[in-house]
């Protein structure tokens, strides 16, 4: 039923929907996440590739998100029994097979005709939780009906709060197990690849979960010279809105886009169930710290009261170990699964996740850390 | 009347004056200041491009002015109401709409046939103050008559002090609201792009405000082998000259070209109304610190007694926030508005300023700083 | 007898064995180890070149192994009598002419038809000790019969301990003077050049010392997606296995692959005769420290109780001096002698060693250190 | 008479001697020292260019000599009277017009047919002291007869001490005002560009001041594999030799090639009149510190007891100021004047010196330091 639904939807998109991708697809020889990036670059229209790949401003933070991971050194321990690895964890009452989630990203139908349904299918196949974006091109109910794996839902909060209330209720009704509230975007960032490429949604594609807000191509919110506000986002948002959402939600409320220790403390005080350390994939404010730089301060600030997650630059199993060593309970990936989606649909998403999971296991074994609990600061080579 | 005057002047310059540029000009698609740099490079004669772009010696400081801005990290705060931003400030009794001025730069007619009149027009359209250079190719009275926005006047002090006295009186009579005295140039820097390109003013273009000093093409002051002095500049200048100027001037005297804490203190003691931290656009002494590196020490040295401004490397709204976070009350841009002038005349200047202003607003919003007063050191990510 | 034996073996390999290389071979004009790398790159099949050259993951540690050596500065002393240099040392009861050994590396027949016999011949000609790999393509008895120089033997420990016991006994019976137990490889690293190049042993080439373990091409142990274990390696290995080997062995047991101070202390406590600081040529876990970064901590941790050796990135005589200055008693080279082997067989191996030895002597002379004992921390320029 | 002598010598060299170069020569448009480097590269035979340009090993120190100068920041002071600059100094009883000397370099006839005579002529025209190398291709008596400016003489000390005694007496008899003893070269460095280019002296060119030592092309001392010693240099040299030379010499004895504080102290204790901080132009031991890095420690160690000079990487007037700020009394240049010599003979040497002198004056003026005595540590921007 879910599959039929997906096919009928897909047939209305710009290309005829391909049959469900099999593992012998274009990404079958990809052996690392960067391979998917290159394959996606070759396949995607330039406008879409740039939309996904780009960062804010001069993309200094975009590069920094990677450079900082690369500069962190691991300290392997030897002669530890790593013949059995336990990568599982409990998070907000859910059991996860491994500490890697799919971060919310917009407009999957731009990337693949099956859109979010393919993403959810691939995530489920790999055993990972997908955080559905409120800018999805598929209705959250359709995704939930189709998905066999766990879903969370991400919220932007526009000025019209009734829309927010509706979305929360719809997400919870559809079975989403957590609400991720993006708090780092009172205005959109200076995303110049989008401006240059005249980014827009093609006819027939829309933010279906946000009906009532502007849907026209010209209303994507990329600010005109002089203006920085968009109706999609409420720039007057304060911690009071978080209080209101926490009072409304029955599922855990996770704040995404925290970088400072100060805001992390406030998040815990205002009832957030967790925080996601993130610079929005380097798409908002250029020259913020890399997410992995901000992580240890946030982790220290919350003192274990609530779980800390992070995203931004994860491309390798070693990156996951580093994030965990610096205080993250789990990480999220964004662009990498979109490359997978572009290359091979659901199978591509699944393969991306499995490669990363395999790398994580190898890294744990080579570090001499057989469980997630055994990964702490001591897995990192001290700076001095 | 101002417009007519401008047109008649323009008709006497090397090219026929174009009609007043409209926003559909060559820079209409430029979305960042660097775009104007590239467009200007394509349009300007090599000699002029190199004159503007070049720095002293090996251009180490030229690069450093940018690299240091890029390396500074911002610390965003979230869930602050940024739906209303106040970018205005009071400076030397003037109200500025935003903390960005146009630094004094020479010879605008080399860049565009309308020269300084176009610059003043663009600055006024954007609501910014222009600091007119004493090396302008338009008389300061003509600029003042034409300009609808605020002007300051910049002074070099040649050995002949009567000329200085005249200039101060002329500038004040013309309504300039502050005097900027450049103190970092007892001799000219080793500007090798100028030497190599045999930089000179074409026939019919001259430093009209400095009649009485050498005007011949060969007297631009670029030192011959063995000599370092030029009649345009008094290498024997000391703080006594500043005392004299302060006693003479009715408008605030601002010293431009301060880098050290020691000189900043002396400036305050000798009656300067403010200082501009600057390495002269990296055109004088190579391997000085970047201006943004010097800024915090100067700000600390003056302890708020007088306002500190800075120029050197500002290309992004985030740079403005960083400078303010490190103690500047306002910043000045130089090369960027010359690129704008080269590309689109007054409209180009205006667009450059508006882009930067828009970026500043976005940066303030994304940092969670709705007013200039709310921008302090805490907007910077601490180094350790 | 040894030579005949080598020839008969060689004739069974894929190319007809060339006559014993003479010094007028392809490497005769090579004047530094990097020259051999380039010559080898030109000569070897891509698959083999990549197998040797590659590192794990993004090869960050591979580059770091070199970068860290390059960044260390030496402090020369002048006017010391260096007309006589003594490069000899005593190690595990053996007298070595100089502190450079040949690290264990696999599959020499891939590199040269004469394989390990040529390596052993070149090592002996240069007066250096060869550590034979348990992944040799020649039986250790054949190597031992042929070799005129000293041999050590390297062990991987598979789950089947009887094989280990046999190997130890065979190695000692063949006259190997030390056992090197590789402890840093419970699972294989993410060696992507091998995956990409579909690395395999060609027909007729095998791990002859490990008969009984998988020999098929598809069993080289490079993990399939999802799996990280290989029958070649026992991922459950702990310090108990070291105790067992130490109780079994009559020759000194040296642990290879120690990076942390903690493991170095454990090694000394568990009876190891020495440790080799190594990140496995950057082939296992990417983003470990460079071996030379880890060395001083290991040396400090063992406090001279057992000798510390190191490998990873040695390409210059100055590198040897630096390693000795940071606490190593001797160093091992891997890739460089394989380049020599590829270029000129035994003569290439010999020339590589002699170039490095000559450079070591020149470096000792120019540092004013006439003996190995005179090389201590003071040979390094202090960081601050 | 000097000129005639030079011409007759020149006519015997491989090319017909050009007339004395005039300032309209190939270097007339060169405006910085790097220009001469490029012009020389175009003109010199590859072997000669490489001999001059090359450094030891991987040329890490060669690059570092420049990089460290580039990284040092100057702190300009403003509003200091710099209308009169005094660049003169007293050194070993001599009055120098400016603190820049010509370092000893070998084989000038390779670079220009007039060889050392042209160098001495250019140095004198610029008012600079030349340190004649004992590897000159012109006899020191001929140079002294021809030179109108001050000369010092540089000594290598071969095993045959009678030769040293003779050289000292000849140099003093010829009027050389100081003896520079090179102490950093017990063996030659690993100069691979020379090895690769098969560096040799062409027929008819020789080390005329060292008759009695090997003169054959094959005896240039570049070590064969395995050997590091050369008859040209006594590797057994100790401080006793310095005592002996100091007892012998009537002129000041300056030790060249000191990098460590320890050796600098010993130099002062053993009666050296001064030291030259140098890594031999990065031609001996690779990965030593840059000379400018070593300078402050040497200056601190000698505590002003004897003057400290330095060479290695000086290419800009700002570099001279930096060296003086870090404790040098004067600096020496090597390669730059050889580029000048290659391009324009005596005139090229003169122009190189004058460009550097002019840059020095501009740098002093822009730093607000009108005398050498006013240049101290405070001219440097503090690191933190």
CA distance A298 to chain B (A): 12
Residue B218 pLDDT: 40
Contact B78 A223 (CB under 8 A): no
Task: Return d(Cα C29, Cα C294) in angstroms, integer.
Answer: 35
Chain B residue numbers with beta carbons less than 8 Å from the beta carbon of A259 are: 75-76
- Inspect the structure and tell me whether chains C and B have 3 or more CB pairs less than 8 Å apart: no
Chain A residue numbers with beta carbons less than 8 Å from the beta carbon of C275 are: none
Residue C108 pLDDT: 98
CA distance D300 to chain C (A): 14
Contact C79 D266 (CB under 8 A): yes
Contact B351 A225 (CB under 8 A): yes
Collect all residues from D whose CB is shorter than 8 A from any CB in B. Answer: 31-32, 70, 72-83, 316-318, 322, 351, 354-355, 357-359, 361-363, 365-368, 381
Residue B3 pLDDT: 38
The alpha carbon torsion through A280, A281, A285, A290 (nearest 10 deg) reads 110
**Could you say which of D112, D200, D270, D280 is catalytic?**
D280
Task: Return d(Cα C350, Cα C126) in angstroms, integer.
Answer: 5
Contact D187 C362 (CB under 8 A): yes
Global ipTM:
0.92
CA distance B57 to chain D (A): 8
N residues, chain A:
384
Collect all residues from A whose CB is shorter than 8 A from any CB in B. Answer: 57-58, 60, 183-190, 192, 195-196, 223, 225-229, 234-239, 241-242, 255, 257-260, 262-263, 266, 279, 284-289, 293
Bridge partners, A256 (sequence order): A182, A276
Contact D318 B238 (CB under 8 A): no
Q: What is the mean pLDDT of residues D27-44?
A: 96
Give residue-wise pLDDT tens across range A91-146: 999 999 999 999 999 999 999 999 999 999 999 999 999 999 999 999 999 999 99
Chain A residue numbers with beta carbons less than 8 Å from the beta carbon of B365 are: 186-187, 228, 235
CA distance C61 to chain A (A): 9
Across the C:D interface, residue pairs with CB atoms under 8 Å apart total 105
Q: What is the mean pLDDT of residues D1-14?
A: 38
Residue A266 has pLDDT above 90, yes or no: yes
Core vs surface per residue D52-91: b (16+ CB within 10 A) or e: bbbbbbbbbbbebbbebbbebbbbbbbbbebeebebebeb
Name the one residue in this structure whose structure tokens are 């074409």.
B202
Read off the pLDDT band of A224 (50, 70, 90): low
Residue D211 pLDDT: 82
Query: What class has domain B30-379?
Result: alpha beta
Angle at which helix D291-302 crosses helix D317-325, to 10 degrees, equals 30
Read off the pLDDT band of A27 (50, 70, 90): confident
Structure tokens at A379: 């897995």
Contact B195 D31 (CB under 8 A): yes
Residue A216 has pLDDT above 50, yes or no: no
Q: What is the mean pLDDT of residues B8-20?
A: 38
Residue A71 has pLDDT above 60, yes or no: yes
Give residue-wise pLDDT tens across range C189-230: 889 999 999 899 999 899 999 886 655 434 444 445 668 998
Give residue-wise pLDDT tens across range A320-339: 999 999 999 999 999 999 99
Read off the pLDDT band of B225 (50, 70, 90): low
Residue A204 pLDDT: 87
Chain B residue numbers with beta carbons less than 8 Å from the beta carbon of D351 are: 225
- Among D232, D38, D4, residue whose Cα is nearest residue D133: D232
Core vs surface per residue B256-278: b (16+ CB within 10 A) or e: bbbbbbbbbbbbbebbbbbbbbb
Collect all residues from C whose CB is shorter than 8 A from any CB in D. Answer: 31-32, 70, 72-83, 316-318, 322, 351, 354-355, 357-359, 361-363, 365-368, 381
Bridge partners, D89 (sequence order): D96
Task: Return d(Cα D28, Cα C354) in angstroms, integer.
Answer: 49
Q: What is the DSSP string of D208-230?
A: GGGBTB--SGGGS-PPPTT----
CA distance D33 to chain B (A): 11
Residue B54 has pLDDT above 90, yes or no: yes
Closest alpha carbon within chain A to C64: A71
Closest alpha carbon within chain D to C78: D184
Q: What is the mean pLDDT of residues D4-23?
A: 39
Read off the pLDDT band of A7 (50, 70, 90): very low
Q: Which residues of C are catalytic?
A: 280
Q: Which residue has the higher pLDDT, D288 or A5?
A: D288
Contact A318 C57 (CB under 8 A): yes
**Torsion sign (Cα): A219, A223, A224, A230:** positive
- Among B180, B203, B191, residue whose Cα is nearest residue B133: B180
Report residue A7: phi and psi, to 5°.
Answer: -65, -40
Core vs surface per residue D171-200: b (16+ CB within 10 A) or e: bbebebbbbbbbbbbbbbbbbbbbeebebb
| Whole-Å CA distances, A84 to B187, C230, C234, D39 | 73, 13, 12, 67
CA distance A368 to chain C (A): 9
Q: What is the mean pLDDT of residues A317-321?
A: 98
Contact A288 B75 (CB under 8 A): yes
Q: What is the mean pLDDT of residues B13-23?
A: 41
Chain B residue numbers with beta carbons less than 8 Å from the beta carbon of A60 are: 70
Residue D8 pLDDT: 38
- Among A67, A287, A290, residue whose Cα is nearest residue B71: A287
Closest alpha carbon within chain D to C72: D287
Give residue-wise pLDDT tens across range D344-358: 999 999 999 999 999
Q: Which of B87-101, B186-200, C170-184, C350-364 has the lowest mean pLDDT?
A: B186-200
Read off the pLDDT band of B201 (50, 70, 90): very high
Contact D57 C361 (CB under 8 A): no
H or E, element range at A257 = strand A253-258
CA angle B195–B197–B202, rounded 5-degree value: 105
Contact D79 B187 (CB under 8 A): no
Residue C245 pLDDT: 97
Structure tokens at B270: 């000798």
The alpha carbon torsion through C271, C273, C279, C284 (nearest 10 deg) reads -60
Residue B25 pLDDT: 81
Chain D residue numbers with beta carbons less than 8 Å from the beta carbon of C70 are: 58, 60, 287
Q: Which residue has the higher pLDDT, D14 or C64?
A: C64
- The proportion of chain C whose per-residue pLDDT surpasses 90, expressed as a percent, equals 82
Read off the pLDDT band of C8 (50, 70, 90): very low
Mean pLDDT rounded to a whole number for chain C: 91
Mean pLDDT rounded to a whole number for chain A: 91
Residue D12 has pLDDT above 50, yes or no: no
Contact B358 A228 (CB under 8 A): yes
Read off the pLDDT band of A231 (50, 70, 90): confident
Residue A22 has pLDDT above 70, yes or no: no
Residue D27 pLDDT: 87
Q: Which chains touch B (3 or more CB pairs under 8 A)?
A: A, D
Read off the pLDDT band of B219 (50, 70, 90): very low
Residue B169 pLDDT: 96
Contact C362 D287 (CB under 8 A): no
Nearest to C287 among A73, A83, A357 (CB): A73
Q: Whole-model pTM?
A: 0.93
Collect all residues from C whose CB is shorter than 8 A from any CB in A. Answer: 57-58, 60, 183-190, 192, 195-196, 223, 225-229, 234-239, 241-242, 255, 257-260, 262-263, 266, 279, 284-289, 293
Contact D57 C316 (CB under 8 A): yes
Residue B44 pLDDT: 98
Q: Which residues of B are catalytic?
A: 280
- D43: Cα within 13 Å, side-chain hemisphere: 19
Residue D7 has pLDDT above 70, yes or no: no
Read off the pLDDT band of A212 (50, 70, 90): low
Q: What is the mean pLDDT of residues D99-128?
A: 98
Contact C238 A80 (CB under 8 A): yes
Across the B:D interface, residue pairs with CB atoms under 8 Å apart total 107
Nearest to B75 among A228, A236, A259 (CB): A259
- The proportion of chain A whose per-residue pLDDT surpasses 70, expressed as a percent, equals 90
- The proportion of chain B whose per-residue pLDDT surpasses 90, expressed as a percent, equals 83
Residue D212 pLDDT: 66
Mean pLDDT rounded to a whole number for chain D: 91
CA distance C82 to chain D (A): 5
Give residue-wise pLDDT tens across range D135-189: 999 999 999 999 999 999 999 988 888 999 999 999 999 999 999 999 999 998 8
Test the D interface: residue of B224, B238, B241, B287 with most D CBs within 10 Å? B287
Residue D1 pLDDT: 34
Would you call D280 a catalytic residue per the annotation? Answer: yes
Residue A67 has pLDDT above 60, yes or no: yes
Chain D residue numbers with beta carbons less than 8 Å from the beta carbon of B156 are: none
Name the one residue in this structure whose structure tokens are 């790949």.
A53
Residue A372 near residue A98, CB atoms below 8 Å: no
Chain C residue numbers with beta carbons less than 8 Å from the beta carbon of D184 are: 76, 78, 366
- The proportion of chain D whose per-residue pLDDT surpasses 90, expressed as a percent, equals 82
Test the A interface: residue of C59, C159, C187 with most A CBs within 10 Å? C187
Residue A55 near residue A283, CB atoms below 8 Å: yes
Q: What is the mean pLDDT of residues C94-118?
A: 98
Residue B141 has pLDDT above 70, yes or no: yes
């Amino acid at each position: 039923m879910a599959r039929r639904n997906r096919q009928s939807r897909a047939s209305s998109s710009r290309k005829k929907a391909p049959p469900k991708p099999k593992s012998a697809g274009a990404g079958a020889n990809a052996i690392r996440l960067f391979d998917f990036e290159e394959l996606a670059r070759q396949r995607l229209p330039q406008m879409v590739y740039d939309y996904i790949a780009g960062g804010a401003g001069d993309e200094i933070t975009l590069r920094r998100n990677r450079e900082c991971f690369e500069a962190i050194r691991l300290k392997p321990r030897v002669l530890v029994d790593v013949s059995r690895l336990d990568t599982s964890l409990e998070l907000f009452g859910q059991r996860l097979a491994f500490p890697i989630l799919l971060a919310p990203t917009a407009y999957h139908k731009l990337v693949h005709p099956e859109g979010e349904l393919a993403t959810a299918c691939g995530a489920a196949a790999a055993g990972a939780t997908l955080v559905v974006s409120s800018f999805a091109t598929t209705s959250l109910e359709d995704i939930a009906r189709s998905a066999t794996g766990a879903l969370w839902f991400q919220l932007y909060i526009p000025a019209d709060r009734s829309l927010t209330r509706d979305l929360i209720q719809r997400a919870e009704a559809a079975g989403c197990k957590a609400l991720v509230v993006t708090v780092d975007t009172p205005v959109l960032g200076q995303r110049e690849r989008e401006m240059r490429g005249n980014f827009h949604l093609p006819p027939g594609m829309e933010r279906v979960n946000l009906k009532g807000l502007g849907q026209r191509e010209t209303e994507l919110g990329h600010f005109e010279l002089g203006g920085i506000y968009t109706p999609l986002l409420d720039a007057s948002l304060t911690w009071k809105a978080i209080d209101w959402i926490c009072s409304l939600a029955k599922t855990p409320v996770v704040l995404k886009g925290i970088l400072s220790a100060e805001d992390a403390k406030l998040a815990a005080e205002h009832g957030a169930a967790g925080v996601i350390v993130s610079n929005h994939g380097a798409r908002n404010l250029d020259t913020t710290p890399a997410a992995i730089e901000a992580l240890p301060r946030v982790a220290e600030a919350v003192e274990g009261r609530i779980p800390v997650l992070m995203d931004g630059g994860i491309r390798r199993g070693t990156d996951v170990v580093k994030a965990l060593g610096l205080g993250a309970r789990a990480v999220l990936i964004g662009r990498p699964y979109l490359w997978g989606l572009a290359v091979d649909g659901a199978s591509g998403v699944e393969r991306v996740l499995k490669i990363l999971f395999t790398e994580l296991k190898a890294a744990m074994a080579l570090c001499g850390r057989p469980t997630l609990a055994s990964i702490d600061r001591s897995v990192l080579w001290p700076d001095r």
